[in-house]
Structure 1
Amino acid sequence: MSSRTTYALGAVAVVVIALIVFFAFRWGSDGAEVRNDGYGTVRDEAVTVDLQSDGGVRLGRPEAPKTIEIYEDPMCPACGSLETLYGQEIAQKVDEGKLAVRYRFVNFLDPKSSSGDYSTRATAALQCVADAGPAVTFAKFHDTLFTDRQPEEGSGLTDEELASLATGAGAPEPALDCITDGTRRTQAQDQAGAAVDDLAAALDGDAATPAVFDVATKIDVNEPEWVQQVAP
C-alpha cells in the first residue's frame, strides 16, 4: 500500500509550517503475511501501561530491555496496515518481556475526517484508556481503533462510539467519562502537535507515518523480519 498526501499545518504569527506526509508501505491486500496470526493482543497481566507527561503511551513490562517508539495517526491507513501485519507479533514480544512500545500519536489527518478532529479525539480516547488501565485493556482498544474499526478518510467515530469500543475492551467508567466529556481533548491536541514536531525533526523535516524508531534509528518496517530483528 502506498499513497502520498500533503497536509499544511497552521500558521504561528506569519510563519506557516508545512509538513509533507508520505505513506510509503508496500503492503495491502496483495498477500502480505500477517505475523503470528492468531496470537491476539497483549494478554500478560505483568505488562503495564503508562500515560507519560508528553502524551506518549508506554506498553510493556517495566524491566523490558528494549523499547521502540511508534508514531501513528489513528486514521492513517498505513498505520492500520502496520498494526494488522505486525501487531500480534509485537504483542507476543511484549508479553514475553523482550520488548516495550512507546506510542506517539499524531493528528495529521484531522482535516480528512468528517468531524475535522477525529485523530485528536481518538488520541484523547487512547490516552484516557491508558491512564485508567489496565494494559490488556489499552492493548485491545488500541488494536480495535487501528484495525477492525479504523475509519476511512471522510468519516470517523463519535465520542460515544469511541466510548462504546472502550467498554468492549474492558475500560472502567472513569475512562469512558474521560472520552465522552472530552476531558483530554485540548491537551491531546497540543501533545499530538508536539509529536508532529518531534517526528519532523527525526525525519529531517518530512513527517511520515507510521514511523518506528529504535532509539534514534529509524526501522525499515517494510522488512518482514523487523520485529524479530529488534527483539530476538
Structure 2
Amino acid sequence: MSGGARNAKRRQQAEREARLAAAGIRVPQSKADKNRVPMIAAGIVIALVVVVAGGWYWFSTRPVTPTFTATASGAVVTAGTGPVVIDVYEDFLCPGCLALEKRDGNKIITALNDGKLTVKYHMLGLLDARTKPAGYSTRAADASLCAAAAGIYGAYHQKLFNVQPAENSAGLTDDQLVSYGTDLGAGADFAACVKGTKNDAAIKKETDAATSAAGLKNQGVFGTPTVAKDGKRIDINASGWLDTVLAGK
C-alpha cells in the first residue's frame, strides 16, 4: 500500500473515531476491547427491550379514565348507556372484587365509555363484620352512592379499590372517604352525604335481596364479586367473559 493510500485510510479511521466519540462510544484500541464491543451492544439491546416492555406494561395497566355517566337509585348505580346490560354485585372490602377490578376494570370502563355497555352496580355491605369496628363495607358503599350523585362515580369507584383496606382492619375513615371525593371534584355537599346515613337502609335492603333465597343465592352460594346478565350468573373465571357478553353470546 502506498504512503498516500495509508494516509487516506488513517484519515478515514480518525474521522470514524471522531464520529463515534461524539456519539459517546469509545473506540476499542485493543483486541480485548474489540471483543467487548458485541457484549456492550447486546447489553444495550437487552436494556432497550426491558425499557420497551416495561413501558408497554405501564401503558397497558394504567387506569382508563372514566367518561361515562352514572346515576343512583336506592343502592344501585346505573353506569353507562350501552345496549348490553349486566349486573355487578360487589363490596369495596372484597379481595375478589379487587382482583376483578385489576383484571377487567379497564375493559369494563372502555366498554362503558364507548357506549357498548350498561352496568348496574349493586352496592352491598356484605363484609361489614370483617372490619374493626364493623361497618366499613356499608360506609364505602354509601360514599360511592354519594359519588354518583356528585358526578364522580367512575373515578371514585376506581379510587376505593386502589386504596382497599385489609380485612380485619379499621377500614378507611369517613374523612378519608370525603377527601378522596373532594380531590376528584365532588362539591361541598359531598362531605355531609358521606358522613350521613341516608343510604344505609337502601344498602341493607340490597344486601338482603342479593343474599336471599329469592335472589341470586338460588343459583348457588352467593358471594362477591358476582356478575349476572338477565338474572343469570356469568362465569367470570374466564378472562374473556366480557368479550363474550358484548358479542351477545
Check conservation: 1:57, 1:127, Cα contact below 8 A. Answer: yes
| Structure 2 partner of 1:51 | 72
Distance 1:151 1:228, change over 3 A: same
**Please, what is the CA RMSD of the aligned residues?**
2.2
TM-score normalised to structure 1 length: 0.74
Moved over 6 A (4+): none
Distance 1:224 1:191, change over 3 A: closer
Check conservation: 1:213, 1:219, Cα contact below 8 A. Answer: yes
Aligned match for 1:143, one of 154, 158, 163? 158
Check conservation: 2:80, 2:119, Cα contact below 8 A. Answer: yes
Distance 1:211 1:124, change over 3 A: same
Residue 163 in structure 1 maps to residue 172 in structure 2 = no
Check conservation: 1:68, 1:213, Cα contact below 8 A. Answer: yes
Distance between the aligned counterparts of 2:199 and 2:90, measured in 1?
Answer: 18
Amino acid in structure 1 at the alignment position of 2:61: D
Structure with greater Cα Rg: 2
Number of matched pairs: 189
User: Residue 69 of structure 1: SS of its match in structure 2?
Assistant: strand
Residue 195 in structure 1 maps to residue 222 in structure 2 = no
Amino acid in structure 2 at the alignment position of 1:48: T
| Structure 2 partner of 1:42 | 66
Residue 208 in structure 1 maps to residue 223 in structure 2 = yes
Distance between the aligned counterparts of 1:183 and 1:36, measured in 2?
Answer: 39
Name the one with the larger strand percent: 1
CA distances 1:115-151 after superposition (whole Å, capped 9, x unpaired): 2000011111111111232xxx2101111112x2111
TM-score normalised to structure 2 length: 0.69
Identity %: 33
Distance 1:77 1:113, change over 3 A: same
CA distances 1:28-63 after superposition (whole Å, capped 9, x unpaired): xxxxx99953351312xxx3211013x1100002xx
Aligned match for 1:113, one of 110, 124, 131? 131
User: Residue 65 of structure 2: SS of its match in structure 1?
Assistant: coil
Give structure 2 stretches of 5+ with no counterpart.
1-56
Give structure 1 stretches of 5+ with no counterpart.
1-32
Considering Cα pairs closer than 8 Å and 6+ residues apart, tell me whether 1 or 2 has the greater RCO: 1
| Structure 2 partner of 1:19 | none
Check conservation: 1:138, 1:169, Cα contact below 8 A. Answer: no
